[in-house]
Structure 1
Amino acid sequence: MPKIKTDYEIGQDNVTPFGMDIHNPVFIISGLSVVAFVLLTLMFQEQAATFFKWLRPAVTSTFDWFFLSAANIFVIFAFFLALSPLGKVRLGGQEATPDYGYIGWFAMLFAAGMGIGLMFFGVSEPMSHFSSSMGGVTLGEGGVRTDWAPLGGAAGDADASRSLAMAATIFHWGLHPWAIYATVALALAFFSFNHNLPLTLRSAFYPLLGERVWGWPGHLIDISAVFATLFGLTTSLGFGTTQALAGFNFLFGWGTGGVAALVLVTVITSIALISVLRGLDGGVKILSEINMGLALLLLLFIIIVGPTADIFKSFFSGGFEYLKQLIPLSTPFGRADTNFSQGWTSFYWAWWISWSPFVGMFIARVSRGRTVREFVLAVIIVPTLLCVLWMSAFGGAAISQVIADASAPVAKVAQELKLFEMVKGFPFSSVLSLLGIVLVLVFFVTSSDSGSLVIDTITAGGKDDAPAGQRIFWCTFEGLVAITLLLVGGKEALGALQAMAVSTGLPFTFVLLAMCVSLYLGLSKAAKALKPV
């Protein structure tokens, strides 16, 4: 790997108007495009709403096979790297030591990777699949049927339905998403720490593009990463806003309309700005550890006070069923259950892929000193187990309520209310609901501020010390994009948010597949240079 040109190191491509440190043209094109998107969407709301309603099902139904195939490749590739001799390579060089302990490291990658999604889907997704496997037909996001044929139905068999429901849920929150994150994070960390390249997506393509990564091919890679990150992030912020508003309305009757969404996003974005200005250690790390503690507290309470036996039954039987059904669920061709693959899986894979620059870069920044093997296995296995436990606790508790009483309210309320309806049957239910809202809001803040730091790093050419004004710009516009999509989408707001995530995730999938080839070439060269032990 060649040394970077000195003129690049001192920022020849960067301009500094008004004290800004802008990597031209990445910042200019990305920033103006986002501003134009917000303005045009607000100016043509009716047309935009119609377009968003069409876009998501159009992409997922046409490219479901591609999303499933790509996600399978990421899983196989990640485990290949961990188990091959390439796993001995250490990020930062063989003498490097970790910057963070395991607790802080896990807290940051977990909070950034899944936070709001776990809160929103922890009860609602297992419940949807449980209803389908029991023989009912429920509607997922965008009105898509959620019945799924390959795993078979289990009408009348509650325990079998529970296992099938948990298997389908775990599939979307287990090995595949974390393999995507691990692959991107590893590429960014390796080329940054081991070759002193800027911490930005283009650097991962040096073995394939050579010096062209500093020209327009590299600019386009970084611009696509900005768009994918921004819209993947605003999808999560939209879920968080919807659920937090539902929770406030559930407890206090505050309303859930557009004005309430505007106020909430504005307040939370303002808090995120403070965290962004405090930086990684002073803001994101502290909030991530606080949130991890609160999340574990809520999780333990649900496990201990709730139907403990049923929760662990969901964990083990659902986990076993997941491993048993992993290949049928992952098969991209010849599927009879297109409703499941298109209505759920394609959206999830596109969402995780669009999130991958954000989560990957964030994980990379805090992972210096880990070997490739330690990094991949930790980033995939540990969060997967935590996700399985979380879904088993919240989803399992809700399913138990429905098994005990088929008319239980948790089976009937909207997705964003299912968490609050489920804990209503617990002691201190109001406190639990309030804690759930706090978790959603803090996950909102950690996602927003860490996402702002990541986008700012990309648009500043890989620098992690860009001026505060740029971080403020990106944090502010993340909130504005979320507000815009929520307002324009109306009753289909979540569909509008998801439409943008899948539309940016599709082209970025090609980028990540090419990145796998480049990462393999770089690690192969590094592994050959290792001194024999």
Structure 2
Amino acid sequence: MSDQTNPGETETDFEVGQDNIETQIGPFGLDIHNPVFLISGLAIVAFVLGTLMVPQAATELFNSMRGWVTVNFDWFFLSAGNLFVLFCLLLVVTPLGAVRLGGVDATPDYGYAGWFAMLFAAGMGIGLMFFGVSEPISHYASSVAETAGTAESWAPLAGAPGDPAAAAQLGMAATIYHWGLHPWAMYAVVALALAFFSYNRGLPLSLRSAFFPLFGDRVWGWFGHMVDVLAVLATLFGLATSLGFGASQANAGLNFLFGIDDSSGTKIILIIGITAVALISVVRGLDGGVKRASEINMVLAFLLLVFVLLVGPTADLLKGFFSGLGAYVTNLPALSNPFGRTDANFSQGWTSFYWAWWISWSPFVGMFIARVSRGRTVREFVICVLLIPSLVCALWMTVFGGTALSQIVVDGYSGAQDAATELRLFAMLSELPLTQITSAIGIILVVVFFVTSSDSGSLVIDTITAGGKTDGPMPQRVFWCVFEGLVAITLLLGGGLAALQAMAVTTGFPFAAVLLLMCVSIWKGLSAERKLM
């Protein structure tokens, strides 16, 4: 790759770097990026105090916020998700895919094993544990029920009502839709923008840098400040949602195994304890902390996956993996259609929430993926970040969800279906050998995924609030790690999981527009880069 600038741009356009962002060392060793650090920090402090002072009013506000966004803008979330997938696939098949992140001579910083481990642990770990069993069961129950409008809602499989086998297949297709191409495309867009403009153009590793081709030096002013502030808030609330899910599931598992009280108090103690563990990982840094914890978790997750596959209905699960993918492809147009839907619960209660949640996570996961993806070509990057994780998520959901569905449809065991959402994984494992051991491993996985999400998020927020620096001072990383736990606790006290989901949806909504604009900027930047190769 040539070091020249793009046609029509001056050489100094891409030499702005850190000098354009006001940064100073503040009290307690904080590397303050004015005004992003101060606005973000003060907004979060005000949110925590306000919620704790008036929890009832906060609960009502959170519920109304989520309902208003998902009911009125489900079409927007679904349309945006489709555009992200199409954009990523277009990059794979066009010459732009040949651009290498970091230049033609760049080599990957991590091997495939370490790269995938960090990607999965940061990207969807807690979600896979929480929804791996519960979501296929929920979709199965909806599509098999003899209720008005159900057949219309699931038009691609109109025979599903009353047909358990067809309902199970459709439930798996809907689950793969929520955990496949669409969410990973959202991550890929942000990660690619950050990696390209940082490694190839020398701009700070910050969300504002992705818009330099469109807005020029204005990204160093208030436009850029607000983009970074929004990224911090979206990341923090998206992480808090995941931490809330993780605490709820860990608490349910401890109650299942040891009879420990399943209450808000126990969840808060869990969040405090695991946040303390995350602080240790934050202090150790990316390679010593996050990477090591991610690799440990991937080994445990793989062992649990293999165990369930072997002791469960193995042949049916392997067959179901391919039939589920087939049902996903067949029903994808109907599942992703943003207009004329009759299934409000699915499009608003499930898909809109998921897309907003993934989008709120995209600054965090995208920046984290960008930091560990130098040296990959755009084509390799998109394929690995988009297609391969989608297949692994589909396999995970098939093994865990498929085993639970087999217990319901074939064995007549309704324990997993009747259990609370956070307890369904353990109810499914209770019908398999070595229940105590596998359930304990499940709790450990939730906890370690919790830790890797928290410390990864702290590193990313620290980078944004330090103006794109990847080596911010340790006190600042500790500050954000502690605040992630505080926000999760505050939201649990101010309305439980509903409040957590409401804030993820609310912050994800405006950021969806940011991601759409980011696609335009990526295309413009890669096109100019390709001409210089």
Aligned-pair identity in percent equals 63
Match of 2:130 among 120, 125, 136: 120
**TM-score, with length taken from structure 2:** 0.95
Residues 121-160 of structure 1: matches in 2 within 5 Å?
121-135=131-145, 148-151=153-156, 152-160=158-166
Aligned counterpart, 1:512:
515
1:157/1:381 CA distance change after superposition, 3 Å: same
Aligned counterpart, 1:29:
39
Alignment partner of 1:392 is 2:401 = no
Aligned residues: 521
Match of 2:524 among 498, 521, 531: 521
- 1:156 Cα deviation after fit: 3.6
Aligned counterpart, 1:436:
442
Alignment partner of 1:454 is 2:451 = no
1:67-101: per-residue Cα shift (whole Å, max 9, x none)?
Answer: 00001110000111111010000000011010100
- 1:10 Cα deviation after fit: 5.3
Contact 1:189 1:368 (C-alpha < 8 Å) held by counterparts: yes
Aligned counterpart, 2:115:
105
Unpaired runs of 5+ residues, structure 2, are: 6-10
Aligned counterpart, 1:494:
497
Cα RMSD (Å) of the superposition?
1.7
3-state SS of 1:15 partner: strand
Match of 2:96 among 86, 92, 95: 86
Q: Which one-letter code corresponds to 1:148 in the other structure?
A: S
1:88/1:222 CA distance change after superposition, 3 Å: same
Aligned counterpart, 2:23:
14
- 1:157 Cα deviation after fit: 2.6
3-state SS of 1:522 partner: helix
Residues 44-443 of structure 1: matches in 2 within 5 Å?
44-135=54-145, 148-151=153-156, 152-443=158-449
**TM-score, with length taken from structure 1:** 0.95
3-state SS of 1:94 partner: coil
Separation of aligned partners in 1, 2:19 and 2:221: 16
Separation of aligned partners in 2, 1:366 and 1:60: 33
Aligned counterpart, 1:141:
none
Alignment partner of 1:43 is 2:49 = no
Separation of aligned partners in 2, 1:56 and 1:215: 31
1:457/1:147 CA distance change after superposition, 3 Å: farther
Separation of aligned partners in 1, 2:384 and 2:281: 27
- 1:335 Cα deviation after fit: 1.3
Aligned counterpart, 1:142:
none
- 1:406 Cα deviation after fit: 3.6
- 1:155 Cα deviation after fit: 3.0
Separation of aligned partners in 1, 2:342 and 2:56: 35
1:135/1:147 CA distance change after superposition, 3 Å: farther
1:379-427: per-residue Cα shift (whole Å, max 9, x none)?
Answer: 1111001000000000000001001344521110100000000000111
Separation of aligned partners in 2, 1:147 and 1:396: 24
Q: Which one-letter code corresponds to 1:130 in the other structure?
A: Y
Separation of aligned partners in 1, 2:481 and 2:316: 42
Contact 2:317 2:399 (C-alpha < 8 Å) held by counterparts: yes
1:184-237: per-residue Cα shift (whole Å, max 9, x none)?
Answer: 100000000001111110000000110111111110110010111111111100
1:6/1:173 CA distance change after superposition, 3 Å: closer
Unpaired runs of 5+ residues, structure 1, are: 139-144
Separation of aligned partners in 1, 2:63 and 2:270: 25
- 1:50 Cα deviation after fit: 1.1
Q: Which one-letter code corresponds to 2:394 in the other structure?
A: V
